[in-house]
Amino acid sequence: MILKRFSVLVILRVAFLLATITGFVLIFGRADLFFNQIILGSIILIQVYELIRFVMQTNTELAKFLLAIKYNDFTVNFSRSSHSGFKHLHPAMREIMAAYQQVKIEKEAQYQYLRLLVKHLKVGIISVKGEDEITLMNPPALQLLKTNIYHHWKNIQLNRPQLAQAVESMQDGESRLVELSLHGEVRRLSVQLSQVRLLKDTYRIITLHDIEDEINRSETEAYHKLIRILTHEIMNSVTPISSLSETLLMMLESDSGQVKSKEEISPDYLEELAYSLRTIQKRTDGLLTFVEDYRRLTKVPQPQRQPLSVASLFSSVSLLMRAEFEKRGIAFHTRCEPEDLTIFADQRQLEQVLINLLTNSIQAVAEQEKPSVALSAYCQDERTLIEVQDNGSGIAPDKLDQIFVPFFSTKEKGSGIGLSLSRHIMGLHGGSIRVQSQPDTQTIFSLTFPPIAEIVPQSANA
């Protein structure tokens, strides 16, 4: 509507100008109309000026509006001239300016809110633009690194080289535990790297989390659980030994503490002596076995890792366990997708882990009407997962957080080191082991391995 009005006014001015020029041409050269020629000539000049002024005024208003937006100048006023063809455009311009100003205010408020939020987070955050410019470093990051604010990444490279080297060797989305020596104090930080591209610039977002307290708390809890179980196992063996030893002394010594002669010892005592000694030997052997299990748990050798075909691993384990499955009537299935799936691992140690898990599954499905065990492998988020699944009795929810504690067992005759040993081996491989269980429905043990590309360079450097 506004452009149509502008066009009409321009056309009218041009039409009047052409009419005036035509009249001027018709009377041009006539001496009796000399003054008329002067008047028409003046009118032509005025009309040309008015046309130019009319168009230029509109261009000026538009240029003023666009420049105001470009430079965020919200104090600009637009002409209210009544003869302007764009006089109806001015309210629209003012509304657009007001809306744009409101958007800027909201964006600024949101920006300040996010700055305040980042400032009060307990996680340290560092934002690096491009290769060197630090655009953000919140107070927790300064506190964790015990430093003043830096504006360039090269300052961190110079003053905190351990952190800089770790970050520069990390991939997007990777997290790593980094130990920093800060003024004689060692701190363990969980460092995560994320990369994002905004417009033409690439940003690295580095988060720092002090996990010293969490690690200490977890270690303390683990020690308490281990000590409690060790105490329980040792007391179970030592108590009857102590009791039987006291009984034997009572049988072999008089009330005065003197050793009885062979004539004073009743023949019935000899049978009891032999029984007590056999019991002591049995409990002592059990205690020695317990100590040997503990030594085996704490002396797992470093894995000799190399590229390992998962399908080949499954074939080897299946061959070892097939007879046991067939004897118990358990349906056993394996699945590997893709078939050429490869991990970087020690085959002997990994076979031990899978045999431990499959043995647990065999025992868990013993009472099921249709026992079933499955071994599968697949990729997820660039990591390899191997799962052992069964439809057995499962694990009670209150026991899930204890099954990996050394010597804790849900089975009456279990040693309690199989799962602990398995988790230790997975830790040496840079992976993890987790469990999900629904009693009497399904239990899944998941082994997670890091991408092979992350391990091979490290091994090569080693």
The whole-number average pLDDT for the span 57-67 is 71
What number of other Cβ atoms are within 10 A of residue 301's Cβ?
9
Question: Which pair of tokens denotes residue 98?
Answer: 């007001």
The whole-number average pLDDT for the span 123-129 is 86
The 3-state DSSP class for residue 387 equals strand
The segment(s) of the chain belonging to CATH 3.30.450.20 are 121-210
Structurally, at CATH architecture level, domain 306-461 sits in: 2-Layer Sandwich (3.30)
Q: If pLDDT is split at 50, 70 and 90, which confidence band does 82 have?
A: very low
- What local confidence, expressed as pLDDT, does residue 408 receive? 60
Q: Kindly tell me if the per-residue pLDDT of 81 is higher than 60.
A: no
Q: What percent of the chain has pLDDT over 70?
A: 75
The set of long-range contacts for 13-16, using a CB threshold of 8 Å and a minimum separation of 24, is 13/47, 13/50, 13/51, 13/54, 14/51, 16/47
Cβ atoms of 95 and 74 within 8 Å: the answer is no
- What local confidence, expressed as pLDDT, does residue 331 receive? 92
Cis peptide before 338 (omega within 30 of 0): yes
- Contact residues for 432 (Cβ-Cβ < 8 A; gap 6+): 423, 426, 447, 448
The whole-number average pLDDT for the span 293-322 is 81
Higher pLDDT, residue 322 or 91: 322
CA angle 347, 352, 353 (to 5 degrees): 100
Taking alpha carbons only, the member of 187, 10, 191 closest to residue 83 is 10
Which range has the worst mean pLDDT, 94-103, 197-206, 253-262, 339-348? 253-262
The segment(s) of the chain belonging to CATH 3.30.565.10 are 306-461
Q: If pLDDT is split at 50, 70 and 90, which confidence band does 460 have?
A: very low
Burial class, 415, CB count within 10 angstroms (exposed 0-12 / middle 13-18 / buried 19+): middle
State the chain's maximal CA–CA distance in angstroms: 175
The 3-state DSSP class for residue 202 equals strand
The whole-number average pLDDT for the span 255-267 is 68
- What local confidence, expressed as pLDDT, does residue 447 receive? 93
Q: If pLDDT is split at 50, 70 and 90, which confidence band does 415 have?
A: low
- What local confidence, expressed as pLDDT, does residue 293 receive? 62
- The average confidence (pLDDT) of the chain is 77
- Contact residues for 387 (Cβ-Cβ < 8 A; gap 6+): 374, 375, 376, 377, 444, 445, 446, 447
Taking alpha carbons only, the member of 427, 395, 422 closest to residue 409 is 395
Q: Kindly tell me if the per-residue pLDDT of 248 is higher than 60.
A: yes
How far apart, in whole angstroms, are the C-alpha atoms of residue 38 and residue 245? 143
> What is the separation, in whole angstroms, between the first and last Cα of the chain?
76
Taking alpha carbons only, the member of 325, 411, 314, 410 closest to residue 373 is 325
Q: Kindly tell me if the per-residue pLDDT of 73 is higher than 80.
A: no
Q: If pLDDT is split at 50, 70 and 90, which confidence band does 336 have?
A: very high
Cβ atoms of 370 and 331 within 8 Å: the answer is yes
Higher pLDDT, residue 166 or 34: 166
Q: At residue 374, what are phi and psi to the nearest 5 degrees?
A: -130, 140
Q: Letter for the amino acid at 241?
A: I
Q: Kindly tell me if the per-residue pLDDT of 227 is higher than 90.
A: no
Q: Is the pTM of this model over 0.85?
A: no
How far apart, in whole angstroms, are the C-alpha atoms of residue 408 and residue 228? 10
Q: Between the ranges 60-69, 234-243, 299-308, where is the mean pLDDT highest?
A: 299-308
Q: Letter for the amino acid at 366?
A: A
Q: β-pairing, 306-309 with 331-336?
A: unpaired
If you count DSSP H runs as helices and E runs as strands, how many of each does the chain have, helices first? 12, 12
Length of the chain: 462
pLDDT in tens, 427-449: 888 888 898 888 888 999 999 99
- What local confidence, expressed as pLDDT, does residue 162 receive? 82
Structurally, at CATH architecture level, domain 121-210 sits in: 2-Layer Sandwich (3.30)
Q: What does R_g of the chain's alpha carbons equal in angstroms? A: 43
Strands (DSSP E) contained in 51-129 are 124-129
How far apart, in whole angstroms, are the C-alpha atoms of residue 331 and residue 374? 8
